[in-house]
Amino acid sequence: MSDRRIYVVLLGVPGAGKGTQAKLLEQSTGLPQISTGDIFRYNLKNQTELGKLAKSYMDRGDLVPDEVTIRMVQDRLQQPDCVRGAIMDGFPRNLVQATAFDTMTAPYGGVRVAPLIQVEDDETIRRITGRRSCRTCGAVYHVIYNPPKVEGICDVDGGELYQRDDDKEDTVRNRLFVYYKQTAPLIGYYYAKGLLREVDGAMSIEAVQQALLAIVVG
């Protein structure tokens, strides 16, 4: 195929480390991270129509409707920085989105690989409750595991670090429920296509990154 692109679908429970790893992969491969969560949060902050629509779903920890999400990803993939492919972080999130993504990417060779970052549930909770995000650039920290140089301030752009509203306990519980019900079936979906690769997400951020790089580039 002449126009073969590299589409990587990162899988893993909320808090597994997808965003952290996607940002590092972006730096080392030059493929852009496409985080649907980040795009929704950007729209929420700027009070766009999309943001207003997504708000109630995100507050509850439910998925934003597929039609809206799929259209948003389609638009994003047409941006010039996606000509070599993309690192998908948080999309697809259910089987409808996965089949839509296959259709979108079919002209470019489809999904290249789907790494699954595996982490135990109690570690996931520890990671989510300690997560802090930059208000301006979206960089992700952890109060214990990956603290910024100066407390409350982003190393990258000096932005304010905050705890996401949906990282509070009630919403986290629902997000995990939604993950097991709607997103976990994607593991079987990509396994059946021979694209699933399991990575031990309990390792350090650097060790997980090395394992992922070997999968994506190797």
Catalytic residue ranges: 18, 93, 131, 164, 175
43 binds ligand ADP (CB under 6 A): no
Least separation, in Å, of the C-beta of 161 and ligand ADP?
10
Least separation, in Å, of the C-beta of 33 and ligand ADP?
10
Burial class (CB in 10 A: 0-12, 13-18, 19+), 56: exposed
Pairing of strands 161-162, 131-134: antiparallel
Pairing of strands 85-89, 140-142: unpaired
12 binds ligand ADP (CB under 6 A): yes
Contacts of 200 (CB under 8 A, 6+ apart): 118, 208, 211
Nearer to ligand ADP, 42 or 145 (CB): 145
- The type of residue at 136 is T
Q: Tell me which DSSP letter residue 90 carries.
A: S
Part in contact with ligand ADP (CB under 6 A); list of ranges 9-17, 104-112, 151-159, 184-192: 9-17
Cβ atoms 32, 87 nearer than 8 A: yes
Helix (H) / strand (E) element for 70: namely helix 66-77
Site for ligand ADP (CB under 6 A): which residue of 9, 15, 34, 114?
Answer: 15
User: Which stretches within 113-168 are classed as H helix?
Assistant: 121-129
204 binds ligand ADP (CB under 6 A): yes
Site for ligand ADP (CB under 6 A): which residue of 86, 140, 196, 199?
Answer: 140
Site for ligand ADP (CB under 6 A): which residue of 32, 90, 115, 138?
Answer: 90
Q: Which residues bind ligand ADP (CB under 6 A)?
A: 12, 14-20, 36-37, 40, 57-58, 61-64, 69, 90-91, 93, 97, 127, 130-131, 140-142, 145-146, 166, 175, 204-205, 208
